[in-house]
Each structure stands twice: as C-alpha cells, then as structure tokens.
Amino acid sequence: MPTAPVIEVTELRKSYAGRPAVDGVSFAVEEGEIFGILGPNGAGKTTTVECVEGLRVPDSGRVRVTGLDPVAEHEATRRVLGAQLQESELQAKLTVHEALELYSAFYPSPLDWRPLAERLGLTAKSTTRFAKLSGGQKQRLFIALALVGNPRVVVLDELTTGLDPRARRDIWELIEDIRSNGVTVLLVTHFMEEAQRLCDRIAVIDKGRVAALDTPAGLIRRSAGATVISFTPSAPLDDRELNALPALVAVENKDGRITLSGRDDTVDAVLSLLARHHITAHQLRVTDAPRPAHRRLVHRRVRAGPRYGGLRSRTVGPP
Ligand SMILES: Nc1ncnc2c1ncn2[C@@H]1O[C@H](COP(=O)(O)OP(=O)(O)O)[C@@H](O)[C@H]1O
Ligand SMILES: [Mg+2]
C-alpha cells in the first residue's frame, strides 16, 4: 500500500497586511525524502515552512505533517517535527549543553546529545553560553537542537547561510546521514548548489508561488529552455556569489569552467559580478534555447557591444 506523504501542503495562502507572501503553494514530501524549497529572498519560503511548523496560521489551504494539523495539533506535531530555532527563541544565558538537554527533554526518544555535539564541532563549546557563541557556532547549535529530539521530520531554513564552505560541506554530510536513518528533511535554501547536492526534489518558489517542482536533474533539463552562460574566469569566483545570482536555475563549476543556467537577466548579473571583481570571462558563450513554454522569458535584446567587452558567441535556436 502506498504510504501517505509525510508533509502535505495544498493551496497554501498567507498574506501580511493584505500583501500575499504565499499565494497558493502546493507540494507533498514523501517519507525519507530530502525536499528542497529554493528561491530568492522574499519569495515566501520561510512563511511556507512556518506554516508547516505550526508557527503561523495559514489564511487558507491545508497543511498536514504525518497527518497532523500543525496548528490545531501543535503539541503532537512538535513531537514528530524538529525545527531550526530562530535566534530570539533561545535564552542568552543557556549554555550549549543546557540547551541540548532542555530540548531533548521535549521529545519521547531523543538522541544522545554528546555525539551530536561532537559531530557539529560543539564539544569544546558545551559550557559556553549561547550569547557568547560566534554566528557559525549558533547556527550549528540550532541544527543540533533541530535533530536532538530524533524527529521523523526535520525542517531546516537556510541552514548553511553564514557558514564557510568547509563547515557547509560538513553540514551537508550530516544531513545525508540523517536521511539515511529514514528522517524526512524539508530544506529551505537560496543556494542552488546546496539544493542540487542534497535534495531528491526541489520546489522553486518565486513571489509566493511554485515556479517549478522537479528533481535536480529535471530542473537542469528544463533550464535547457532558458539561458545558458558559460565561461572560464581569469581568477576564481566565490561560489556563494555565483549561487546568489538572480534567476539562477543551475550552476556547474568544472575544471575551472563555469556553466550557469538562468534567465535573461542572469546574464546581466553575471557580467556585473565579473566587472566588480575585475575578472575577465574567457570563451564566454551565451546560449538561448527557447521552447514555446518559455518564450515569454527569453524575449531579449541582443547585447553585443563595448559595454561588456562584447559577447563573443551567441547561438539562438531550439535545443
Ligand atoms: N512577519 C511579517 N510581517 C510582514 N511581512 C512579512 C513578515 N514575514 C515575511 N514578510 C514578507 O513576506 C514576504 C515573504 O517573506 P519570507 O516568507 O520570509 O520569504 P523568504 O523566506 O523566501 O525570504 C516578504 O515580502 C517579506 O517581507
Ligand atoms: Mg527565509
């Protein structure tokens, strides 16, 4: 018998002061899946997951977590769902180990917090008060607190924001371990690389709506209908800056050559990023491959001129 989805969100709507933040979002997350919500700042990602966590009351639509209504059955939901806290929710004076003990006491079968703290590089800080932790340490503590209850479902919102690349990769491995123990993960991110690396499926959210919902490979195939930019930079580029580009669908960095898929406006953003860092793009190629469904998006001006030193190649045509 097919099992019911662990998280179900149907036609979710939520406005703030009459302005829609989430405008009809639907998706379902299966047991054991890492499901990503990807989108630019202000897209409505946090509002969506706060409704899943029962921290916000939807204006309309339906949300279920393991069949529970997170608002009406908040206590029961809390026992199955581990959520990443916001900074304001933790008392400044609690030490790391006090916080972990306190939070494990909320759950019926918590993990031993010590190995978890070790895994997250928090052991040396276990007697440090929360207020004295660095930004990255606070972030790692929030992740530990989301996991310590040994929940069936974990919601992580921008979990690696502010972490250095090394710490980010450690956290990714931890998330993969969590999933291999059967935990379902709902992961909010605005880093395409993070979503691609970790997620089984991704809902791309833009302006409160689901713009696409697919596997990472499927999203890349779709982006064949968008604009692909590739170049070899004269100096290394920061992954974080590349991932933060607007309308980015995918980024690949292979043997020093960068390939980005995005929309028309991604090209502008890439070129100004390069200009800001005084980096030259060697063998720059910009390719549009319009499909009928994407025609609206690829209506573009041809821009080959002195402003950016010239786009040297442009291929326009179906894939
Ligand atoms: N508590 C709030 N009050 C008013 N507006 C809010 C509040 N929270 C979020 N918003 C607005 O709702 C929109 C979606 O925000 P959010 O869900 O935080 O998006 P994301 O997490 O994708 O950045 C944004 O325009 C944001 O300014
Ligand atoms: Mg957010």
Among 111-125, 139-153, 167-181, 216-230, the least confident range: 216-230
Q: Residue 223: its pLDDT value, please?
A: 62
Asked if residue 245 is part of any domain, the answer here is yes
Residue 112: pLDDT band with limits 50, 70, 90: very high
Output DSSP code: residue 224. Answer: G
Query: Torsions phi, psi of 163, nearest 5?
Result: -95, 155
95 plus 229 within the same structural domain: no
Same domain, 143 and 40: yes
Whether 57 and 162 share a structural domain: yes
Mean pLDDT of 313-317: 33
What does pTM read for this prediction?
Answer: 0.74
Q: Is residue 2 part of a domain?
A: no
Given phi > 0 = left and psi -120 to 50 = alpha, else beta, which region is 231?
beta
Domain end residue (candidates: 191, 212, 233) = 212
Burial of 14 (0-12, 13-18, 19+ CB in 10 A): buried
**Domain-embedded: residue 87:** yes
Q: Is there a single domain that holds both residue 43 and residue 149?
A: yes
- 2 has a pLDDT exceeding 70: no
Q: Are residues 185 and 277 in the same domain?
A: no
d(CA 146, CA 154): 7
Ligand 1 binding pocket includes 189 (Cβ within 6 Å)? no
Residue 286 has pLDDT above 90, yes or no: no
139-143 mean pLDDT: 89
At a CB cut-off of 8 Å and minimum separation 6, what does 110 contact? 103, 104, 148, 149, 150
Beta bridge partners of 287: 228, 315
**132 and 54, same structural domain?**
yes
CA-nearest residue for atom 5, ligand 1, is 16
* Distance (Å) from CA 219 to ligand 2 centroid: 22
Closest CA to 81 of 89, 71, 90, 93: 71
Residues 51 and 179 grouped into a single domain: yes
Other residues' Cβ atoms within 10 Å of the Cβ of residue 183: 21
Dihedral angle computed from the Cα positions of residues 145, 115, 191 and 99, in that order, rounded to the nearest 10 degrees = 20
Q: What is the mean pLDDT of the chain?
A: 84
- Most confident residue range from 67-76, 185-194, 214-223, 230-239: 67-76
For residue 23, what are the β-bridge partners? 13
In this prediction, residue 22 carries a pLDDT of 98
Does pLDDT of 305 surpass 50? no
Domain presence at residue 118: yes
Confidence class for position 302, pLDDT limits 50, 70, 90: very low
Q: How many CB atoms neighbour CB 252 within 10 A?
A: 14
The count of structural domains within the chain is 2
Tell me: the pLDDT tens digits for 66-111? 999 999 999 999 889 998 876 667 888 999 999 999 988 888 889 9
In the predicted model, is pLDDT for residue 8 greater than 90? yes
Read off the pLDDT of each residue in 43-53 and give the average, rounded to a whole number. 96
Q: Is the pLDDT of residue 296 over 60?
A: no
Pick from 53-67, 83-97, 302-316: least confident: 302-316
- Helix or strand or coil: residue 211? strand
The Å distance, Cα 25 to ligand 1 centre, comes to 15
Q: Which carries the bigger pLDDT value, residue 96 or residue 316?
A: 96
pLDDT, average across residues 286-301: 46
Tokens of 312: 């040297």
- Band (200; pLDDT cuts 50, 70, 90): very high
Question: Residue 61 falls within a domain, yes or no?
Answer: yes
Domain residues for the domain of 110 are: 7-212
State the distance from the centre of ligand 2 to the C-alpha of 245, rounded, in angstroms. 16
Domain match, 297 and 176 both = no
Domain membership of residue 255 (yes or no) is yes
Report the CATH number that the domain containing residue 168 is assigned in CATH.
3.40.50.300
Is pLDDT above 90 for 49? yes
Q: Tell me which residue of 257, 252, 261, 277 sits closest to 229, measured CA to CA.
A: 261
Q: In residues, how long is the chain?
A: 319
Do residues 151 and 252 both lie within one domain? no
Asked if pLDDT for residue 298 goes beyond 60, the answer is no
The domain boundary, picked from 212, 242, 274, lies at 212
What pLDDT score does 166 carry? 82
Strands 60-65 vs 7-16: parallel, antiparallel or unpaired: antiparallel
**263 plus 140 within the same structural domain:** no
Asked if residue 204 is part of any domain, the answer here is: yes
**Integer CA distances (angstroms), 319 to 137, 221, 304, in order:** 46, 10, 22
Asked if residue 267 and residue 155 are part of one domain, the reply reads no
Residue the block writes with tokens 């921008």: 158
pLDDT for the residue 72 = 97
- The more confidently predicted of residues 128 and 4 is 128
Start-to-end CA span in the chain (Å)? 40
**Which mutation among 16, 52, 202, 210 tests ligand 1's pocket best, with the greatest number of atoms within 8 A of CB?**
16
208 lines ligand 1 (CB under 6 A): no
Amino acid at position 134, single letter: S
* Ligand 1 atom at shortest distance from the alpha carbon of 17: 4
The per-residue pLDDT for range 252-271, each reduced to its tens digit, is 777 888 888 777 778 888 88
DSSP 137-197: HHHHHHHHHHHTT--SEEEEESTTTT--HHHHHHHHHHHHHHHHTT-EEEEEES-HHHHHH
Locate the DSSP E strands across the chain: 7-16, 19-29, 34-38, 60-65, 81-83, 153-157, 184-189, 201-206, 209-214, 227-233, 250-254, 257-262, 281-288, 314-316
Say yes or no: 15 and 130 in one domain.
Answer: yes
Among candidate residues 100, 167, 111, the one with its CA nearest the CA of residue 137: 167
Predicted local confidence at residue 132, as pLDDT: 95
The answer, yes or no, to whether residue 289 has pLDDT greater than 90, is: no
pLDDT of residue 308 exceeding 70, the answer is: no
| Closest protein CA for atom 1 of ligand 1 | 16
Domain final residue, candidates 159, 181, 212: 212
Q: Is residue 51 domain-resident?
A: yes
Residue with CA at minimum distance from ligand 1 atom 16: 44
Q: Is 42 in the pocket of ligand 1 (CB under 6 A)?
A: yes
